[in-house]
Structure 1
Amino acid sequence: MAAPPCFRVCGSDTVDSVPVPTSTYRLQITDDFTLTDAAAIVPYLARLGVGAVYLSPVLQATTGSTHGYDTTDVTRIDAGRGGERGFEALRAAAEEHGLGVVVDIVPNHLGIEIPHENPAWWDVLRLGQDSGYAHWFDIDWTRPRILLPVLGDDPELRITDGELRYYDNRFPLAPGSWSAGDPVDQVHARQHYELVHWSRGDSELNYRRFFAVTSLAGVRVEDPSVYAATHALPLSWAGDGLAGLRVDHPDGLVDPGGYLDRLAADAPGAWITVEKILEPGEALPAWPVGGTTGYDAMREACGLFVDGAAETEFTALYQGLTADTLTIAQHIEIGKRMVVERLLVAEVRRLAALAPEVPEAAPAIAELAVAFAVYRSYLPGGADRLDAALRLAGERRPGVRPALEALSARLHDPADELARRMQQLSGATMAKGVEDTAFYRYARFVGLNEVGGDPGEFGVGVAEFHALQQARAADWPETMTGLSTHDTKRGEDVRARLAVLAELPQAWAGFASAFLAASEVPNRPFAYFLAQTLAGVGPVDRERLHAYAEKAMREAAQETRWTAVNAGFEDLVHAAIDRAYDNRALSAAWAALDAQLEQPGRSNALGQKLVQLTMPGVPDVYQGTELWEDSLVDPDNRRPVDYAARAELLAGVLGGVPGEGGKGPDLALDAVGEAKLRVTSTVLRLRRDEPELFRGYTPVSASGPAADHLVAYDRGDLVAVATRLPVRLAAAGGWAGTVLDVDGDWTDRLTGRRWTGPIPLADLLGTYPVALLTR
């Protein structure tokens, strides 16, 4: 079957001739935005230029789930999200408009929060090891009963309708385990599970979970029968022409490489990407996939617009105002150590039980997990990462060195269960200790504290950026590139505004000092963190900031935590936010800073959007981000999107070039983001209609006094041009005397204007701070 117009057929060392979308558009499918609703906006997505609709998980999930990563029934599509009828309507609409469909799948775990909604888990609770589903779940059966940490401080159980009940929680009773009149505690003792206080989960749990989430139970997809049962429906879609599969959290699997080999063989026509967070300098293993879901590209595209020269001044300001002199590396070590000592104790104990002959196995394993610089090794590949972690763990804690030496041979053996589980533990430790803890504690410059980011690297220079793109074009040309996702800590345009702070150190210092002086939050780094959040989003609805602050301070897990709320501290945080709105002097200072950030922030937003959409790879647009967006971490970034308004605005954008004579509106007056929509739709349509323009990668230079403020590159008769560091550029006199070093005749596809090189940048970038040139 020939590829539709929004696809190109690729072939590489890792992917064998599969149709690859020219771009994707991520949609969060929920009970409030169903598959049927998604089908209705396909015409808009087609006009936008999208190559494939990219869906969050759609299998039946826990009632009330807003994300779908807690699948409960692998045999059907979620009824509340549109069901089979909605899915078929979406696929039909996509086919009619020449779009593909990419679906997010979750092989690592299943949702068990409401046991009766998960048929397989319910059967295991009822029958124990005799269940036909017992081998589905990664359960430590050396413990006689499955520990379920679901009880509160008032554990009053009852038997109703042949089930064990705790408030609204239902649990099955084993056949023959009870009769009318039996004391409930005796009936409970006869079950294959044990209901215990929630606080015992982190230390005593005997089933593998997703990170530290006890309501998500690990699945043994390494077992061929489990893989076949849990993948039957997604593989049927792939066999029926589905465009692609996005694999969630492969690092949680026993053997990610083996799993992906099987998936690629079973879905030979599907473009496969993996949600793999690569640390800076880490290479993706040679898996049979198109690449990652784009966190690595996000770090590069956003970092390009940060002024690296400001690092020393920013560090001094942060340390002076907060007294936090720790580096991000030190915060990461502290965060990861907290995780293995508090959250993942049960996992550490389970590993240590595999080596009873090593008395200090548990502390040694915990220290090794803390020492890993990446999520995991992929034995036999990645042994050097394991060796480095072993050395570092021994240096940090000499007392565990003998135990590490005793365990080393087994930890290097990919067939050893100890080695397999160690790799699963190191990934969970990294995720919880870094993104979910350290990134909420270290606040030197929070625009860098992003999934897949490196807060210790103050931006990405132009030369480094070019080298990274040339490597991506050569090694992973079909990888996904992202700028925002459902998991990002801050939306792309919030990060674009925060980048401006590096160019306004004095203005930023003034506001930050005023905010901290007015705040009574005793944790000064967190108060500084809040001040940057206010700068990044501007004066939005305050309830959104209160909700964000609650999540951020509890994730930081210092003065307050999800499981031990400190109301006094939280009151001080909320009072600080209210003061920014209600205190006249502080509110005025915030407004003044906001005015300084607005236009350069939008310049950065357009620049990083153009870069992400045109750089090597397959660009993804997260729902709604074709306009200005000020989202914070989930659930804020999953708010409803007004597609009717976007469709109306797109009609105007597609109606012609911007304004009289190619002049567009002042970005400060472009309140909704017409400029960003124009950039997005222009690039997506070019990728769909003229894919030959996007081949290879060659840096393009500029000549003149402002050359350092430009990033430009040639993708193959298409040159992308973006402005960097707009505040410093304006202060130095703008683009006067600086030209883009190209020859021949060109057309700017954003404005319709024609040029002959070399091109004066003052003229080329007079409409927008970006340009998109084709011969």
Structure 2
Amino acid sequence: MTAEAQTAARAGRFRATYRVQFNDNFTFADAERLAPYLAALGISHLYASPIFAARAGSAHGYDMVDPTRISDALGGEAGFRRLAAALRAKGIGIILDIVPNHMAADAANPYWMDVLEFGKAAASAGVFDIDFSRPIALPWVGDDVSEPIESLRLDAAAGRIEAVVAGNGVPLRPASVALLLDRIGALEAAEAFRSLEAEADEAAIAAARAALRTAAAAAPDAFARALQSADLTALHTTQHWRAVPWRRTEALNYRRFFEVSHLVGVRAEDPAVFEMVHRLPLALVREGLVQGLRVDHIDGLCDPAGYAGALRDAAGEDTLILIEKILGRDEPLRDWPIDGTTGYERLNLINAAFVSARGRARLQRALEDEGLIEGSPERRLFDAKHAVLDRSFRPELARLADRAAKLPGLEAVPRGALTATLAALLAAFPVYRSYIDALPASLEDEALWREALRRLEHLSPGDAAAAGQIVEAALGAGGEPGDLFRTAFQQLSGPAMAKGYEDTELYRSVALTSVNEVGSDLGAETPAGDALHASFAAFSLGGQTPLATHDTKRGADTRARLNLLSHDPEDWLAHVKRWRERHAGLKQNDAPDALDEWLIYQTLFAAWPITTERARGYFEKALREAKRHGSWTDPDTAYEEALHGFVAELIEGEGGADFRSDIEALHQRLAADAARFGLGQTVLQLTLPGIPDIYRGTELADLSLVDPDNRRPVDWERRIALAEGPLEAAPAGDREGVAKLAAIRALLALRAAHPALFAAPYEAVPLRQEGWFAFKRVAEEGTLFVALPVTPAAARATALDTGTALRDGDFTRVLPPEGTVSVAGGRLAIDPDHPVTVLAHPGASSGPAT
């Protein structure tokens, strides 16, 4: 069986996934209660966020502290088994999100504490990507702290002495414990700890810990005095770790997840570490409790291709493997033994179907004419990446420069110049990363490095010559120095893109914010027509097709509303002009500025109705990510408070009364179009090649903003009540999104009854009506036909002409629900109140399960 056939066979078992976000407020027991509801929707697999032991109070599970244990806070192993059994009873399996790239640097992490206590001699030293040539930096204290260690304390349960640093307990190294035990005359216990400096096997460690407990209990007063009178400064300078000011990230000597210092990189390339991290998820797969794995942040790993191969070998051919991978413009997915990505590229293409390229350009031009956005998208991205590298990734740049200096021809380059050139080359890199694991580099990877150099010649010509030397060395230097440099560069280029583009530029270039999404490209043309058909036809069967994830910037229906602005940009510009004039008196010290005011109006329109509290949370994040007025580390609180006050007045103040009337009138006028766009996105998600992935709660209208807004509690009772009743055609202005829920239930029932239709190739259907998009999928048992308006004006059509694409005869009408429609001469009638149309060949039953 070919790799493509194997992917198709695996994907055929995955009708649709439903993403849930486990945390203290949504546990295994909560998910267990949803099993009947998910079955009623037609879901085949629960798509679970990480379930492993995480930091206390974790909202998401990606700050894992122990991959070998299921989180007790979520319900523990017993709770997970009950959930799996309840789902299995309803015919539902599980896809599990795994995190091989990083763990939390937390006291609850036994591997991290082991390394802090024993340094490079620790049994866990190989777990983390740490430079042990200097102490492990702990960026916890303030700039004005002269003595980082506040006190010493005994952790009797763990059998160690801890230093208290910024309220956290950090273990002292064995030699320091021995000195303290010497002071109370516990010589045997002291010697037991001193011997651990040379050899720290499990038996010796256990014996030393027992001796410490005994010594502390035998002379409690003397022991307490020894801790209280210890020279804390001297102790601090001799540990395997060193506390440093939290702003001095340049002192860090371990790989982080992006710039998050409390998440430390894991060396999954080491077979022993791979085995430890994957022991539990693979055991769940082999037991049949889990059928698929979703790999978080695969680009952070040393060797993603090698990792994918190792995971496939370990998980077996029957396991679905998905990776979180963000593809750049025209970047193909590498030929790895996986089934697909989590689908950001698909989400953006589906959204693009509903965007007017001309209207989007008009909104962009409006901001450019005012001088609110300057420079090409390429220039803005370069500048944003360059800024975040300087601001947030100094330790990673220093590490990269250390490795670059060992390459042939670069030894004599001054360190400052070398670091600056590396930053420029990273800022010019065209995609998230390359995948060179050996020389010679593949043609694809060499082309990426050459393209970065070409861009740099245009964007920063002064750096081009030195960057050319680096590129030649990177593509030609063999041995360990070359391998170490390429690995460090590739592990940094992804974070630079993510933080520079997703978390900076997408909050600055805000002409039409519906296109500002993870995996988007603000410099690319909006695809339409044949280009969009070609992209959809290329979707693999094994990849997920989401409309929202826990990381998306806006909900699907939030984007749908915003997309409408591109179809009548002059109307929106007129509204903004009027609002600016009317609200000038609501500003304090000219805040918000004109660009932020533009973002405010789009956000409030898209998420309306919205509370002041929700808006405050969103705009705080938007301001700090944009870094135009402060940042997370240096917020401009005066500007922020002025903006929050302006927004609050619009939402609930007397000065915003007319604005609220305008917004309500806009929504009244656009409600039907917004509902059609929202339903159209859902229909594409469910009928294009791939595995539909529904994010928690978004089966009804999803007007959320970026996290944590998109992790708010879900009204499950309302959804359950709707799913249990009959779902007829929703009203044209369906603000609740009932039509989406009905479409999900009907189309997943069709997928269950006739999977061959959804494994069939995608075929474009050209229509003679402007503003319509259509395709079909033909299998031996029949035909699936999908047609939907992608402009507001097109929805008024009463008939479609498909030419010879559809044969004459009666077709079952899946959407709008119930009944049949006759095709004669390629023409079929359309209900203008419910124009989103899905038809099935007579051989395919389409009624939803009852």
1:479 to 543, 546, 552: 543
Native 8 Å contact 1:21 1:51 kept in 2: yes
For 2:828 and 2:594, locate their aligned partners in 1 and report how far apart those are by CA, in whole Å: 43
Cα displacement (A) at 1:634: 0.6
Deviations 1:309-342 (A, max 9, x none): 3234222322345632333322211110111111
For 2:764 and 2:125, locate their aligned partners in 1 and report how far apart those are by CA, in whole Å: 59
Query: 1:676-695 counterparts in 2 under 5 A?
Result: 676-695=740-759
For 2:761 and 2:328, locate their aligned partners in 1 and report how far apart those are by CA, in whole Å: 23
For 2:643 and 2:592, locate their aligned partners in 1 and report how far apart those are by CA, in whole Å: 9
Greater mean alpha carbon deviation, residues 640-649 or residues 269-278: 640-649
Aligned residues: 747
Query: Aligned-pair RMSD on alpha carbons?
Result: 2.1
Structure 2 match to 1:448: 515
For 1:722 and 1:524, locate their aligned partners in 2 and report how far apart those are by CA, in whole Å: 40
Native 8 Å contact 2:548 2:694 kept in 1: yes
For 1:416 and 1:240, locate their aligned partners in 2 and report how far apart those are by CA, in whole Å: 38
For 2:151 and 2:257, locate their aligned partners in 1 and report how far apart those are by CA, in whole Å: 30
For 1:410 and 1:351, locate their aligned partners in 2 and report how far apart those are by CA, in whole Å: 14
Structure 1 match to 2:187: none
Cα displacement (A) at 1:90: 1.3
Native 8 Å contact 1:248 1:275 kept in 2: yes
SS at match of 1:694: helix
2:820 to 754, 759, 767: 754
For 1:573 and 1:235, locate their aligned partners in 2 and report how far apart those are by CA, in whole Å: 49
1:714 to 767, 777, 782: 777
SS at match of 1:116: coil
For 1:125 and 1:37, locate their aligned partners in 2 and report how far apart those are by CA, in whole Å: 37
Cα displacement (A) at 1:14: 7.1
Going from structure 1 to structure 2, the CA distance change for 1:522 and 1:18 (only over 3 Å counts) comes to: closer
SS at match of 1:649: helix
1:396 equivalent to 2:459? Answer yes
1:632 to 705, 718, 724: 705
- TM-score under structure 2 length normalisation: 0.85
1:238 equivalent to 2:285? Answer yes
- Amino acid across the alignment from 1:644: E
Query: 1:23-62 counterparts in 2 under 5 A?
Result: 23-62=16-55
1:588 equivalent to 2:661? Answer yes
Query: 1:399-478 counterparts in 2 under 5 A?
Result: 399-412=462-475, 416-457=483-524, 459-472=526-539, 476-478=540-542
Structure 2 match to 1:531: 601
Native 8 Å contact 1:765 1:771 kept in 2: no
Query: 1:169-208 counterparts in 2 under 5 A?
Result: 169-178=168-177, 179=180, 180=226, 181-201=229-249, 203-208=250-255
Cα displacement (A) at 1:737: 5.4
Greater mean alpha carbon deviation, residues 598-607 or residues 645-654: 645-654
1:606 equivalent to 2:606? Answer no
Structure 2 match to 1:763: 830
Structure 2 match to 1:616: 689
Structure 2 match to 1:148: 138
Greater mean alpha carbon deviation, residues 371-380 or residues 15-24: 15-24
For 1:17 and 1:600, locate their aligned partners in 2 and report how far apart those are by CA, in whole Å: 38
Native 8 Å contact 1:331 1:441 kept in 2: no
Native 8 Å contact 2:8 2:759 kept in 1: no
Native 8 Å contact 1:295 1:451 kept in 2: yes
SS at match of 1:497: helix
2:793 to 711, 714, 728: 728
1:650 equivalent to 2:650? Answer no
Cα displacement (A) at 1:481: 1.1
- Amino acid across the alignment from 1:471: A
- Amino acid across the alignment from 1:345: R
For 2:83 and 2:783, locate their aligned partners in 1 and report how far apart those are by CA, in whole Å: 33
Structure 1: segments with no counterpart, 5+ residues = 1-8, 659-663
SS at match of 2:725: helix
For 1:299 and 1:18, locate their aligned partners in 2 and report how far apart those are by CA, in whole Å: 25
Going from structure 1 to structure 2, the CA distance change for 1:537 and 1:749 (only over 3 Å counts) comes to: same
Structure 2 match to 1:567: 637
For 2:543 and 2:462, locate their aligned partners in 1 and report how far apart those are by CA, in whole Å: 43
Greater mean alpha carbon deviation, residues 594-603 or residues 244-253: 594-603
Deviations 1:251-285 (A, max 9, x none): 00110000010000000121000000011211000
Cα displacement (A) at 1:703: 4.8
Cα displacement (A) at 1:167: 4.2
Structure 1 match to 2:4: 12
Going from structure 1 to structure 2, the CA distance change for 1:638 and 1:420 (only over 3 Å counts) comes to: same
Native 8 Å contact 1:369 1:426 kept in 2: yes
SS at match of 1:533: helix
- Amino acid across the alignment from 1:756: S
Cα displacement (A) at 1:27: 0.4
- TM-score under structure 1 length normalisation: 0.93
1:774 equivalent to 2:820? Answer no
Greater mean alpha carbon deviation, residues 18-27 or residues 28-37: 18-27
Structure 1 match to 2:801: 739
Going from structure 1 to structure 2, the CA distance change for 1:772 and 1:405 (only over 3 Å counts) comes to: same
For 1:80 and 1:337, locate their aligned partners in 2 and report how far apart those are by CA, in whole Å: 40
Deviations 1:167-189 (A, max 9, x none): 43111111131522222111111
1:336 to 377, 385, 393: 385
For 1:696 and 1:263, locate their aligned partners in 2 and report how far apart those are by CA, in whole Å: 29
SS at match of 1:592: helix
Deviations 1:342-368 (A, max 9, x none): 111111110111133133321221111
For 1:67 and 1:715, locate their aligned partners in 2 and report how far apart those are by CA, in whole Å: 41
- Amino acid across the alignment from 1:50: I
Going from structure 1 to structure 2, the CA distance change for 1:644 and 1:737 (only over 3 Å counts) comes to: closer
1:266 to 299, 308, 314: 314
1:94 equivalent to 2:87? Answer yes
Structure 2 match to 1:347: 396
Structure 1 match to 2:737: 673
Cα displacement (A) at 1:646: 1.0
Native 8 Å contact 1:603 1:726 kept in 2: no
Going from structure 1 to structure 2, the CA distance change for 1:322 and 1:588 (only over 3 Å counts) comes to: farther
For 2:395 and 2:692, locate their aligned partners in 1 and report how far apart those are by CA, in whole Å: 40
Deviations 1:89-144 (A, max 9, x none): 111112111111000001000011xx3200000010011111011111111122x2
Cα displacement (A) at 1:723: 2.8
Native 8 Å contact 1:305 1:604 kept in 2: yes
Structure 2 match to 1:661: none
SS at match of 2:174: coil
For 1:763 and 1:407, locate their aligned partners in 2 and report how far apart those are by CA, in whole Å: 61
SS at match of 2:129: coil
Native 8 Å contact 2:786 2:838 kept in 1: yes
Going from structure 1 to structure 2, the CA distance change for 1:45 and 1:348 (only over 3 Å counts) comes to: same
Cα displacement (A) at 1:538: 1.5
For 1:681 and 1:57, locate their aligned partners in 2 and report how far apart those are by CA, in whole Å: 27
For 2:275 and 2:511, locate their aligned partners in 1 and report how far apart those are by CA, in whole Å: 47
1:286 to 335, 355, 358: 335
Structure 2 match to 1:219: 266
